């Protein structure tokens, strides 16, 4: 392995990244952004293994720790506040790989959301891989629970068998269901159920998270690969938002979008077969992309 550590800076903070050079003369690379309280290796070593897989196919990869995470200094930040980190990482990646002029951002969970906020601002970013994007609102979470848990439980033979045998009180679950329904329908004043605000020039920086993500999606004009796990609440929330929210109308159906769904997989792809499939989908999708200036 020719991978090596690279230290770079955002202000006075030092950030640590790992470069996987790929093939000499490569023109496109992949920047892996880390979502949630994780560092550059990823859950079950997913980011490390993905980077090595792509680099073995000649694709340069750079994975790094955001400020306040892993081996990077500074205060920890949410995915809303990592614009400067991503910009510095792209700068560093481009400087370390001579001749590379296109970068695809690859992000899981909150990092996918961060990528949508950032990508349209940087012309070097020409592709996005969004894996189980974080689009959480109170109403969206309630709807996902209803679809993935409560309805399945109500139609489950084991649920009613346990109730009739006195193992638990079904009214507790039914009252909980009622509260969840109330939250899911909401008041229409926030979250994914409201109409998008298409008049405010700063709508990507304010308003419900799903609407802001949709605006970032619209502003970014490059190809997008979306990968969703079949057994993941975060993926279920995004799936509901992207198919039902007015702000997302038609976005998943755009010709530039490729959607892949992995039944049974959990949020962090904890089984090797799931991780391998995600790596294969990523590689194959990258191979379909035309290089800028060579369409």
- Note the pLDDT of residue 169: 55
The tens digit of pLDDT for each residue in 16-44 reads 999 999 999 999 999 999 987 889 999 99
Count the alpha carbons within 13 Å of 94 in the hemisphere toward its beta carbon: 14
- Note the pLDDT of residue 123: 97
Question: What does the block give as tokens for 207?
Answer: 């308003």
Q: Which of 35-39, 164-168, 196-200, 218-222 has the lowest mean pLDDT?
A: 196-200
- Note the pLDDT of residue 152: 57
Mean pLDDT for the chain overall: 85
For residues 283 and 51, the answer to whether their CB atoms sit within 8 Å is: no
CA distance 102 to 91: 11
CA distance 116 to 221: 11
The tens digit of pLDDT for each residue in 64-86 reads 999 999 999 999 999 999 999 99
Q: 71-96: buried (b, 16+ CB within 10 Å) or exposed (e) per residue?
A: ebebeebebeebeebbebbbebbbeb
CA distance 43 to 163: 38
Dihedrals phi, psi of 85, to nearest 5 degrees: -65, -45
To the nearest 10°, report the CA torsion of 3, 124, 212, 229. -40
CA distance 165 to 155: 17
State pTM to two decimals: 0.82
Dihedrals phi, psi of 102, to nearest 5 degrees: -135, 140
């Amino acid at each position: 392995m020719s991978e090596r550590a690279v230290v770079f800076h955002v202000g006075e903070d030092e950030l640590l990244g790992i470069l996987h050079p790929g093939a000499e003369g490569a023109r496109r690379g992949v920047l892996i952004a880390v979502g949630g309280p994780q560092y550059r290796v990823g859950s079950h070593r997913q980011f490390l293994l993905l980077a090595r897989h792509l680099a073995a196919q000649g694709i340069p990869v750079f994975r790094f720790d955001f400020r306040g995470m892993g081996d990077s200094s500074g205060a920890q930040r949410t995915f809303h506040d990592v614009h400067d980190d991503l910009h510095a990482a792209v700068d560093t990646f481009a400087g370390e790989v001579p001749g590379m002029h296109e970068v695809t951002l690859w992000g899981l969970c909150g990092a996918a959301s961060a990528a949508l906020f950032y990508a349209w601002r940087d012309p070097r970013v020409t592709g996005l891989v969004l894996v189980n994007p974080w689009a959480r609102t109170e109403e969206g979470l309630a709807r996902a629970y209803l679809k993935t848990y409560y309805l399945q439980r109500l139609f489950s033979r084991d649920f009613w068998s346990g109730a009739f045998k006195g193992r638990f009180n079904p009214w507790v679950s039914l009252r909980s269901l009622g509260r969840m329904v109330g939250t899911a329908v909401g008041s229409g004043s926030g979250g994914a159920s409201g109409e998008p605000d298409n008049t405010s020039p700063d709508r990507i920086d304010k308003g419900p998270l799903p609407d802001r993500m949709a605006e970032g999606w619209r502003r970014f004009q490059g190809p997008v690969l979306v990968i969703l796990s079949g057994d993941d609440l975060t993926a279920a929330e995004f799936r509901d938002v992207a198919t039902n929210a007015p702000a997302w109308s038609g976005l998943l159906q755009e010709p530039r979008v490729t959607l892949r769904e992995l039944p049974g997989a959990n949020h962090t792809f904890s089984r090797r077969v799931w991780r391998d499939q995600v790596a294969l989908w990523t590689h194959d999708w990258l191979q379909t992309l035309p290089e800028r200036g060579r369409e």
